[in-house]
Chain A
Amino acid sequence: MAVIADRLGGRRIAVTGATGFVGTALVERLLRGAPDCSLVLLVRDGRRTSAARRTEREILANDAFDRLRESMAGGGETFEEMCSRRITTISGDVGMDGLGLNDEGREIMRTVDTIIHSAATVSFDSPLDQAVEINLLGPTRIARLCHDLGITPHLVAVSTCYVAGNRRGTAPEELVSEGPFDIGLDWRREVESSRRLRGDTEADSRRPERLSEFRRRARSELGAAGAPALAAKTEQIRERWVRDQLVTAGRSRAASVGWPDAYAFTKALGEQALVESRGDVPVSIVRPSIIESAWAEPRPGWIRGFRMAEPVIISYARGLLREFPGVPEGTIDVIPVDLVVAAIIAVAAAGPESAPFISHVASGGVNPLRYRTLVDHVSAWFTAHPLYDNEGQPIVVPEWRFPGRGKVQTQLSRAKTLIARAESVLQALPLRGERAELSATLETRRMEVERALEYVELYGLYTECEAIYQVDNLLSLWEQLDDADRNAFCFDPRVVDWSHYVNEIHLPSIIQHARVKTTPGRSRTGDRSSRLRSQVLDAKRQVAAFDLENTLIASNVVESYSWLATRRLDPMERLRYTARTLAETPGLLRMDRRDRTDFLRHFYRRYEDAPIEQIETDVDAMLTGLILRKSFPEGIRRVREHRAAGHRTVLITGALEFNVAGLKPLFDEIVAAKMSVRADGTLSGEMVAVPPTGEARAQILADYCDAEGFRLDECVAYADSSSDLPLFEAVGFPVAVNPETRLAAIARKRGWLVEHWGTSRGFSKPLLPIGPVLSEAERRRTFR
């Protein structure tokens, strides 16, 4: 006789946090195991998606439901029909008073019999105020809503064993505030101060010296990317800073009052607050320990998201994390998710009358997994099934020596400092192309070390935790079940065979999830580039925009000017010109780095008084004399491949229009700097409009697409510098060509196509870009 399913029959159960790991498993289990209940899911609206749509996409589309879906195939009612009959989604947010419900939502809530509250911010490094709003105040808000609505449903709140805090020895199933170690914290004061801290930190982040520091960091990360991009980056850095401050605040506050982190701390106060404010709403609390992949239901190894132990294990397998602190004979309290879900359902089914007030769902007391056993299993498993590095070589996992936490932290911090220093040296060098990639590699390496350091700081306490969580209440609930229920809703931690679980279920599952390289042979990054390349050249693309300097030719405006300026000089004058220009170079470079537009304006003044007729004669020769010599043949070919694919080709360059006239046959449109010509046929040295550089390029391309009826997300953009970031961000298909250090790092992070194009080999490049010596007659030719 299936008592649980029977008791739940006809009940209306509200679930919060259904999009999470436990929530998804819970919804699946209720739909499958208790066919006569109906569900109300409280889901937050996404930024662009409605709550109902999120239910479909983020809950019901999960592979957890595959089993149910398959079992219903061919039956009378389809899975979708069953879902729409039994599930009602209401939009709400436990972080808001009244759960942010509208009238309709409130009416629906009025009809529920049971509320299972599993919404939480489980991340161990949430900002303090966020953890407080959701973990501490969430349950209380639900209780208050019930008071408002005048209902008294059974409220099952999911908490965590770790509310017991940093302690050794047994932890009973009772409220912390009622135990011997209570230090009498007032949760209201904590709420108030965390809110004030948020305000203070926000204000602090806006102080001028902070803002200028953020600006400096944004500039060093992006280079001369233009004002809007710089502003966006600065704001992003400011927000990240505020967040980091609040995360640190959470961690220190938790540590100061005896909890491992803000999560456990706010959860503990949340329980206390709920009990104080529950009124006549009956409450049961379920406290799982570390929840990991499923033992059996809906299938062995089912997991959602990348959880706490996984990144640590994967980092270890990749040889990244060589040490992880922990006590070898300590217990690592892991519990499969299906056991947690079954326990929650059993508590809900038992109802307020017979359910225990607090139940631990943990393995440490009755079926402990020793830390050393876990480590032995993991290292044996990865020795037998190694991951492979990019060269296709197996990675040998390091031997685990159970060092203290301090030692590991010191090691990692030292590595981090070293890499960061090397990185800053590389950043300062004017590198391009493949050499710039080295710095991107270093950055990846540094981020990996940083992450490892974070894991150690965050999770180290959990592996060192020596508390044993009692499960007396849970087991007495278990004793009441008959065999049918025990089969359908197994939550007895004693059933888990750890060796089988780690080797056959958990590790294979997370390896699959982590999408790491598990086969030998070279990495397929080459394939990735050619895949991106074929996307870029796909007939569906509409426009290909190209920068000129260092993207298609290895030259710049100074070179083309020098070439033109020296063309008609005799050897002695050339010498003088060269000496003068070399002397000016550092100044010009400095100006260019500061602001491209100012530099161009300043530099182009030199064309003043040049007869346009002479310039036009000479630029014809410049195509072969300078531009083609310095061109990247692969780049030129790419332009033509775009044309052949039916795309429009656009050249956007800060070079002067007449200097790029020779490239006209390659492009449908050339957007270049324009200089006005005086009535007497000489150049004025003044620009007609702002030269197209930096963020102006993104706008130019957007305007072009607008006018011609193209879509920016079907555009391809080729450029070489981080000052082109706005352009890259505007288009659907950015391609970084011979990127300098900063851009190389950004391109790698975002998965952009990177091309390394070079000038034709074996070709002697003149050291100085000066025109060839002309014959006497040609030199003396006068224009105008």
Chain B
Amino acid sequence: MPRPGFVLDVDRSTPPMLFWHGEKFSLERLPADRSRVIYPPEPIAGIRDVSAAIDHALEHPLDMDPLRALLRPGMVLTICFDDVSLSLPKMRRPDSRQRVIEAVLDLAAEAGVDDVHIIAALGLHRRMHDHELRHVLGDRIVDAFGPTGALYQHDAEDYENLTVVGTTDHGEVLEINRRVAESDLVVYANVNQVAMDGGWKSLVTGVASYRCLSHHHNPESLRNTRSLMDRHHSALHHSIWRLGAVLRDHGPKVFQIETTINTDAFPSPFDFLSRREWEWTARDRATYLATSKALSRMPRSMARKIFHSIEAPYAMTGIHAGFTESVHERTLADVYQQHLVEVEGQTDILTMGVPFISPYNPDSIMNPILVMCMGLGYMFNMYRGKPLVREGGVVIMTHPTYRDFNPVHHPSYIDFFDEVLADTTDPVVMSEKWERKYAEDEWYRHLYRTGNAYHGVHPFYAWYWGAHGQQWAGRVIIVGGDAATVRRLGFTPASTMNDALELASDVVGRSPTITHLHVPSVLVADVV
């Protein structure tokens, strides 16, 4: 029986806490008697017979006819799926998307459906490499559909293949992939790792155009997204649900298949990562020492390679199919069951260790902009109710924050760092002054469409993701980062945790309360 998450009050006997530090770890001792640590719940048990669960979901969907009944010969069927930004780290094969899509394709074949397209719903993310497609979909699907051109990736810049479905009462235009819009049936197979994912967001962002995405991916709505993990209090999700309603009323029939996974993210050598520090065995301690020594001696690129090759032994915890809105409510309940931890009251200082990965650098480099995005965008937003840190409080992150970039995946990030961040870190100012230039740049467009680059505008979105946290926090300190790079981000560099706490005292006084968000593993703090 997995234990639920809980809040530990730090006293003098509490061992040092584990912090992610990019491709490394560190152990930091938190001040006794005024610090607390939020531990995530342990991974909940997965479904035993996944194939049976999939079949059951397809046969007994929510508020829709069984999939079998929706399929007929001569129809136009499109299957969309989440791209590499999910899951993190990648799932051990077979991926749940592969299992779901194979089941759907079997049904389609039985029903004699010939016109089937499979589209990676990547929005403005980078196109997936061949090996990534194979990892997510399996060789069978890729070899069957790839050569005929029926398996491809969404292109938000291919205006010939985009079409307007309708407009919301807020004036938001729903412009999506033409094939999707003109299908008789769209099946969406997704992975819900956190509460932000899924629902209408799958289709409405995954196969939309830049114009459509800019209705909600902007500083205004992200500052009013309280939080990303609570769709009922998120301006971003409100906009997406309005667009979803347009799709529901004017678009193709959508059969949504949502899966959830538990938090069992690291295979055995990294067991200590998901154990609570005071429960570490001698073996855990030895592994920690050996691993962290080895990691700090090897070149960054090698450490990165090791981490990005991790395949997580996640278990599927739920699968629901049918009408998107009904499905997603069930999904959210499953996700929250795994993630929620009740926390009492806010704190002066929030500390967190930022890992080597964010949704925008699978198999790639966690560049400085993504550090901001991961820290202030994702980790800061791991709350429901109110933020863990009080308004004007201090956020302390640990990450090496090197000035490294992947020129293949993040070309516009490099220029964003050198050009835009040198000018401003204010999301509103940059959106007015710079966004258009990057969004319409020919070269970025070329690399997005033909290479494996994120769209030119993507660094702006990554930056906006942290807009709420940036506005909320009185100061953001990065421990152990490259000082010049940290300053460029508008944050304060500190060399040790003690220095950081010292620097924080200017803002929050001499004896502030401290809360540590314990990652790895994911949690959503239900702050009451």
State the A residues within 8 Å of B (CB).
620, 623-624, 628-629, 631, 633-634, 636-637, 640, 662, 665-666, 759-764, 772, 774-775, 777-778
Contact = CB atoms under 8 A, between A and B. Distances in A.
Contact of A633 (B301, B305, B365, B405): B405
A760 B365 CA distance: 11
A759 B407 contact: yes
Given A628-B451, A640-B441, A665-B443, 16 more contacts: A623-B450, A623-B451, A628-B408, A629-B407, A636-B443, A637-B415, A637-B418, A662-B450, A760-B406, A760-B414, A762-B402, A763-B301, A772-B131, A775-B130, A775-B134, A775-B139
Contacts of A665: 442-443, 446
B408 to A, nearest CB: 5
Contact of B443 (A640, A764, A775): A640
A759 to B, nearest CB: 7
Which of B407, B414, B447 has most A Cβ within 10 Å? B407
Contacts of B408: 624, 628-629
B442 A633 contact: no
Interface in B130-155: 130-131, 134, 139, 142-143
B26 interface: no
Given A623-B450, A666-B443, A762-B365, A633 B404 contact: no
Interface in B391-442: 402-408, 411, 414-415, 418, 441-442
Given A774-B130, A777-B143, A764 B302 contact: yes
Interface in B363-379: 365
A628 B443 contact: no
Contacts of B301: 762-764
Nearest to B441: A640
A648 to B, nearest CB: 15
B92 interface: no
A109 B518 CA distance: 100
A506 B288 CA distance: 74
Interface string B300-314: 111011000000000
Contacts of B414: 633, 637, 760
B136 to A, nearest CB: 14
A633 B143 contact: no
23 contacts: A620-B450, A623-B451, A624-B453, A628-B408, A628-B411, A629-B408, A631-B407, A637-B415, A637-B418, A640-B443, A665-B443, A759-B407, A760-B414, A761-B405, A762-B304, A762-B405, A763-B301, A763-B365, A763-B405, A763-B406, A764-B302, A772-B131, A775-B130
A613 to B, nearest CB: 14
Nearest to B442: A665
A777 B141 CA distance: 13
A643 to B, nearest CB: 8
B404 A763 contact: yes
Contacts of A666: 443
A641 to B, nearest CB: 10
A623 B411 CA distance: 13
Contacts of A637: 414-415, 418
Nearest to A778: B130
A620 B130 CA distance: 13
Contacts of B35: none
A624 B452 contact: yes
Contacts of B447: 624, 628
Nearest to B410: A760
A777 B133 CA distance: 14
Contacts of A640: 441, 443
A633 B407 contact: yes
Nearest to B445: A665
Contacts of B305: 764
A629 B129 CA distance: 15
B388 to A, nearest CB: 31
B407 A628 contact: yes
Contacts of B131: 772, 775
Contacts of A772: 131
Contacts of B406: 760, 763
Nearest to A633: B414
A345 B302 CA distance: 83
Contacts of A778: 130
Nearest to B404: A762
A755 to B, nearest CB: 14
- For the complex of A and B, the 6 pairs showing the least CB-CB separation, nearest first, are A762-B404, A764-B301, A665-B446, A624-B451, A760-B407, A633-B414
A762 B298 CA distance: 12
Contacts of A623: 450-451
B302 to A, nearest CB: 7
Nearest to A637: B415
B480 to A, nearest CB: 16
Given A624-B452, A775-B130, A761 B402 contact: yes
B411 A633 contact: yes
A457 B453 CA distance: 65
Interface in B8-62: none
A763 B139 contact: no
A666 B142 CA distance: 32
Contacts of A629: 407-408
Interface string B272-303: 00000000000000000000000000011110
Contacts of B365: 762-763
Given A633-B411, A665-B443, A665-B446, A761 B403 contact: yes
A628 B454 CA distance: 14
Contacts of A777: 139, 143
A566 B364 CA distance: 24
A649 to B, nearest CB: 11
B100 to A, nearest CB: 22
Contact of B405 (A620, A624, A760, A774): A760
A639 to B, nearest CB: 8
Nearest to A634: B418
B306 to A, nearest CB: 11
Contacts of B446: 665
Contacts of A636: 411, 443
Contacts of B442: 665
Contacts of B299: 764
Nearest to A666: B443
A640 B414 CA distance: 14
B500 to A, nearest CB: 24
B337 to A, nearest CB: 38
Contacts of B441: 640
Contacts of B404: 760-763
A774 B143 CA distance: 13
Nearest to A631: B407
B300 A762 contact: yes
B196 to A, nearest CB: 28
B120 to A, nearest CB: 16
A624 B446 CA distance: 12
A778 B130 CA distance: 10
Listed residue (A631, A633, A662, A774) with the most chain B CB atoms within 10 angstroms of its CB = A633
Interface in B65-114: none
A760 B418 CA distance: 13
A636 B444 CA distance: 11
A556 to B, nearest CB: 18
Nearest to A553: B407
A666 B446 CA distance: 10
A281 B212 CA distance: 98
B482 to A, nearest CB: 11
Nearest to B452: A624
B356 to A, nearest CB: 12
Contacts of A624: 408, 447, 451-453
Contacts of A762: 300-301, 304, 365, 402, 404-405
Nearest to A640: B443
A642 to B, nearest CB: 12
Nearest to A777: B143
A533 to B, nearest CB: 14
Contacts of B139: 775, 777
A185 to B, nearest CB: 72
